[in-house]
Chains A and B, each alone.
Chain A
Amino acid sequence: MRRSQKPMRIKRAVWKEKMNKVDFSNYKFRASGLVNLMTNSRTKSDPLGESTKTYLRDIFIKEVYGREKLDIKTKYTDKGIACESDSLDLVQKVTKQTYFKNKSGLENEWVKGTPDIIIPKDHIKDIKTSWDIWTFAKVDAKVASDTYFYQLFAYMWLTETERAELLYCLVNTPEEIIQGEAYRASFQFPEIGESDEAMAKFRKNYLFDDIPVKVRIKNFWFEYSEEEVEKVKNKVVLAREYLAQLHL
């Protein structure tokens, strides 16, 4: 008797024992990651979509198995963190207002986060430090909104404010990061390590003191909306359900 040519379907036994018992039914999403939840799915039958599922899988692995992808932290985020104060200084120079970085984390039943600056009962400000002049030049209202609307929306929600200002700043790169970049670049462009002129040209791409401060800031305003609150709540519910049934 001839065997069936159909490939055999093997039902995989799933080991459902998890390392950390995490109750995802009240999981609070980070404001900075909310955009990953809010991307539109391509099909109606799958309301979460593939990229959201990937994001949720990463959360699941981090929470249950304590592993976090290293590539999440890049030189861009390193500069962003290291230069927070320099960007605040730049904002201060331009607006003539002094702001200090808020250090208190906030949360409600759905999301959590730490806005950079809170002006109580008025608005919040969040500051982004651009990597270089080219990334700064690319920023426009669409880029700002696509990338950061939901983060700032969550901050407005958490602080019960109606408006949010997103500020992009172009500030000098810390010396340690420039040195690291120069070292990496010197393999492709050996002259960086050999000629002072080439090194000076290289360094210039990371330092911006010669550019007037006013053009080194771009700002965008966002507004709070109840409609968005409902959208976010719906997605959070779906995401929590998805997280609860995930396994390795």
Chain B
Amino acid sequence: MTKAVVIKTKELSITDYINQDAIYKNIQSVLKDRTPQFITSVVSLTNANAALKEADKKSLLGACLTAAALNLPIAQSLGFAFIIPYKDRKSNTTVAQFQMGYKGFIQLAMNSGKFKTMNVSDVKEGEIKGIDRLSGEIGFEWADEGRDKLKTIGYVAYMKLINGFEKSFYMTVEELKEHGVRFSQTMKKGHGLWLDDFDSMAKKTVIKLLLSKYAPMTNEMARAHESDQAIITDEGYKYIDNRKETPEEIANEKEKKRVLEFIEKAKDLKQLANVQTAVQEWQDEEISKAYEDKAGSLEGENE
């Protein structure tokens, strides 16, 4: 009788996980002689990010392999591709999500050999000089001196193909923020790449939309579009960030925030006692810990 062997992936370090025979062979079959370099970059990525260390190893490796298959480096500082830890509340696990950087899209476009040029830029106040109603193209007059001090009002992506076709795509900062709120759960919660690095996310968005609307699609480009913001699983791509929150989830999150804020602001033990019933009812680790810590510190103040 065959006994099923269950590998508890969460307990292994990333190095141990990758060095398992089957996993290593799988990586080698995809990356061949690039394998050692790939493993080094995965290990240094997880060492630099505590949340990624906790992430489900399968999704982490899937995200890193997707980047490698597209020939994009995963070092966050380079901005070609990002591996983002994401807390999946449904399964109460952290998973790794693959995200394309705007430089990654430019790189893939240029690698296709079909593009003469491709660029993206922020647009400052006063730089838009009119719109050609016929072609839909926007005319720009770029500021030179003191440009950094001018307010950014939008972002524009531009491409020109070898065959002469050219196109630009412009979005205002407001439109981009709305896009971020609509497509990123983390931005709604007040953190994540959209808030930490709005400039890069805005550039990526205009480039991605320009390419998806007007550019010739190569296999790599199609794969990049499909895998962007996905959790790579055995069953295929899973788009966790685009999942709409249910009203119940929104309500729970808001109420949890209220409880935590109240605990944080409580000035004495008497005030803190007002939240005791709520703490018991929530049975939430974070809330209980915040309550105990606060009670401890308030007791300390009293002594």
Q: CB within 8 Å of B: which residues of A?
A: 77-86, 88-89, 98, 100-104, 174-176, 179
- A84–B255 CB distance below 8 A: yes
B10 CB–A CB distance under 8 Å: no
Q: Which of A85, A103, A104, A176 contacts B254 (CB 8 A)?
A: A85
B251 CB–A CB distance under 8 Å: yes
Of B182, B275, B277, most A-chain CB atoms within 10 Å: B277
- B281–A102 CB distance below 8 A: yes
Given contact pairs A84-B251, A85-B255, A100 touches B244 in the complex (Cβ within 8 A) = no
CB-nearest residue of chain B to A86: B254
- A100–B259 CB distance below 8 A: yes
**In the complex the two chains form, what is the Cα distance from A104 to B283 in whole Å?**
12
Interface residues of B in 248-277 (CB under 8 A from A): 248, 250-251, 254-255, 257-259, 262, 274-275, 277
- With a CB–CB cut-off of 8 A, which chain B residues contact A82? 247, 250-251, 254
- B262–A179 CB distance below 8 A: no
CB distance from B243 to the nearest CB of A (A): 12
**In the complex the two chains form, what is the Cα distance from A81 to B262 in whole Å?**
21
- A81–B247 CB distance below 8 A: yes
- B244–A89 CB distance below 8 A: no
- B247–A100 CB distance below 8 A: no
- B255–A98 CB distance below 8 A: no
Ranked nearest first, the 7 interchain pairs of A and B with the lowest CB-CB distance are A85-B254, A100-B278, A81-B247, A82-B247, A82-B250, A103-B281, A85-B255
Q: Which of B182, B245, B248 contacts A179 (CB 8 A)?
A: B182
Q: CB within 8 Å of A: which residues of B?
A: 178, 181-182, 188, 244-245, 247-248, 250-251, 254-255, 257-259, 262, 274-275, 277-278, 281-282
**In the complex the two chains form, what is the Cα distance from A100 to B272 in whole Å?**
13
- B255–A100 CB distance below 8 A: yes
- With a CB–CB cut-off of 8 A, which chain A residues contact B254? 82, 84-86
- With a CB–CB cut-off of 8 A, which chain A residues contact B182? 176, 179
CB distance from B230 to the nearest CB of A (A): 21
CB-nearest residue of chain A to B181: A175
Given contact pairs A98-B274, A100-B278, A101-B255, A176 touches B244 in the complex (Cβ within 8 A) = yes
CB distance from A246 to the nearest CB of B (A): 30
- A100–B251 CB distance below 8 A: no
Given contact pairs A84-B255, A85-B258, A176-B244, A100 touches B277 in the complex (Cβ within 8 A) = yes
Given contact pairs A100-B277, A100-B278, A179-B182, A89 touches B251 in the complex (Cβ within 8 A) = no
- B247–A85 CB distance below 8 A: no
**In the complex the two chains form, what is the Cα distance from A175 to B257 in whole Å?**
18
- With a CB–CB cut-off of 8 A, which chain B residues contact A79? 247
CB distance from B90 to the nearest CB of A (A): 18
- With a CB–CB cut-off of 8 A, which chain A residues contact B244? 176
- With a CB–CB cut-off of 8 A, which chain A residues contact B188? 175
- A103–B282 CB distance below 8 A: yes
- B250–A174 CB distance below 8 A: yes
